[in-house]
């Protein structure tokens, strides 16, 4: 303990080979778990490895084999609940498949930032990339990707030449809206996420379509930007209106802000206004009141994304699939029938 001195040379395969009295080739075979090695030889090699504290040199291996067994993840802020959950699932899935994970965060939603992230990841030597981007810049940024690089994108885009994994945002918008309509509300108002977001756009479209299909009026949108703060501002702006009895917020944070504004204005949720969120963050069950929301299976999305890149890495280009993770409504206490 406490002897954290200068770094010494790590033992190499040659060292192990010499120690075990075999060729370095045999050591390599043992290290890679190949079966064309005699039982006793294998034992001997394993023993030497242990004794010497051998650790394979991934640089040498990668140099030789051209594979790093490393996948890169490029995404914007971790602070979004969905991103965080997906990253969690991605790390787990990657490690289960024997891949390590290199993370690169993009600071701004610009094409430059995306290219920068991809470049850094590529320079680093990743075998494939999972891109978690949801803005419009996707397409042009993706055009720069080197041909043949396995890539999986989180949010659907116009392009269709790489696998896409996403939640079923259309269903999310529909489920939330139908729930409110079923409760007897005349129509449903909507607080969408930023216009640059594909997910937000898809939820919004589904909300409007559901309303139209039911023959209801489609109110003007109450623009938000994903933050609770924006939900709060929206809430303040409509707190005095008695004609608004049902609101679908495109994420839980905005729903939270909305409820805070309503509380401050002395309105009751769900007595005066029913609120539905989206994502089902861990804490939404503890909001006041506990939030009715649409659950997204981010874990599933993360897992699918990794499986898709790894499949591409190991088996070459596949016909790009488009995977939609299911969503479902979680009914809690922020919704109810409108007052008679």
Partner DNA sequence: CTGAAAGCGCTAACAA
Partner DNA sequence: TTGTTAGCGCTTTCAG
The residues that touch DNA, with contacts defined as CB under 7 A, are 9-10, 12-14, 21-26, 28-29, 31-32, 35-38, 40-42, 56-57, 60-61, 63-65
- Output 168 or 252, the one with its CB closest to a copy of itself: 252
Whole-number minimum distance, CB 123 to DNA, in Å?
A: 10
Residue 38's binding partner among DNA, a copy of itself, none (Cβ under 5 to 8 angstroms by kind) is DNA
Judged by the rule CB under 8 A, the positions of this chain that interact with a copy of itself are 1-8, 53, 55-60, 62-63, 68, 70, 77-79, 84-85, 87-88, 91-92, 95, 100-105, 107, 120-125, 143, 146-149, 159, 161-162, 227-229, 231-232, 253, 256-257, 259-260, 263, 282-283, 285-288, 290, 316-317
Based on CB atoms, which residue is closest to a copy of itself, 33 or 53? 53
Nearer to a copy of itself, 178 or 279 (CB): 279
Report d(CA 114, CA 102) in Å as an integer.
15
- CB nearer a copy of itself, residue 197 or residue 230: 230
Considering beta carbons, is residue 123 or 220 the nearer one to DNA? 123
List, in sequence order, every residue forming a beta bridge with 275; answer none if it has no partner: 247
Binding at 124: pick from DNA, a copy of itself, none (beta carbon under 5-8 Å per type):
a copy of itself
Phi/psi zone of residue 85: left (φ > 0), alpha (ψ -120 to 50 degrees), beta? alpha
């Amino acid at each position: 303990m406490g002897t954290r001195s200068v770094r010494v040379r790590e033992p190499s395969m040659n060292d192990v080979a010499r120690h075990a009295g075999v060729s370095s080739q045999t050591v390599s075979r043992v290290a890679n778990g190949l079966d064309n090695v005699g039982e006793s030889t294998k034992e001997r090699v394993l023993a030497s490895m242990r004794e010497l504290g051998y650790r394979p040199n991934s640089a040498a291996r990668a140099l030789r084999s051209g594979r790093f067994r490393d996948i890169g993840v490029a995404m914007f802020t971790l602070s979004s609940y969905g991103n965080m959950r997906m990253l969690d699932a991605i790390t787990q899935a990657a490690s289960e498949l024997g891949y390590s994970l290199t993370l690169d965060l993009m600071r701004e939603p610009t094409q430059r930032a995306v290219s920068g992230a991809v470049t850094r990841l590529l320079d680093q030597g990743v075998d494939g990339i999972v891109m978690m981007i949801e803005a419009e810049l996707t397409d042009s940024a993706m055009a720069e990707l080197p041909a043949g690089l396995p890539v999986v994108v989180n949010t659907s885009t116009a392009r269709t030449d790489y696998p896409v994994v996403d939640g079923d945002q259309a269903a999310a918008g529909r489920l939330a809206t139908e729930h409110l309509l079923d409760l007897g509300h005349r129509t449903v108002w909507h607080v969408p996420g930023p216009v640059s977001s594909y997910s937000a756009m898809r939820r919004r479209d589904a909300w409007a379509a559901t309303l139209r299909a039911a023959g209801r009026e489609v109110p003007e949108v109450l623009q938000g930007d994903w933050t609770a703060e924006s939900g709060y501002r929206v809430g303040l702006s409509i707190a005095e209106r008695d004609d608004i009895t049902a609101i679908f917020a495109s994420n839980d944070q905005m729903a939270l802000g909305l409820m805070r504004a309503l509380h401050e204005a002395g309105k009751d949720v769900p007595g005066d206004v029913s609120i539905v969120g989206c994502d089902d963050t861990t804490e939404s069950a503890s909001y006041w009141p506990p939030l009715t929301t649409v659950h997204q299976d981010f874990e599933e999305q993360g897992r699918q994304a990794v499986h898709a890149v790894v499949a591409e890495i190991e088996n070459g280009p596949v016909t790009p699939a488009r995977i939609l993770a299911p969503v479902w409504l979680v009914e809690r206490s922020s919704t109810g029938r409108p007052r008679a």
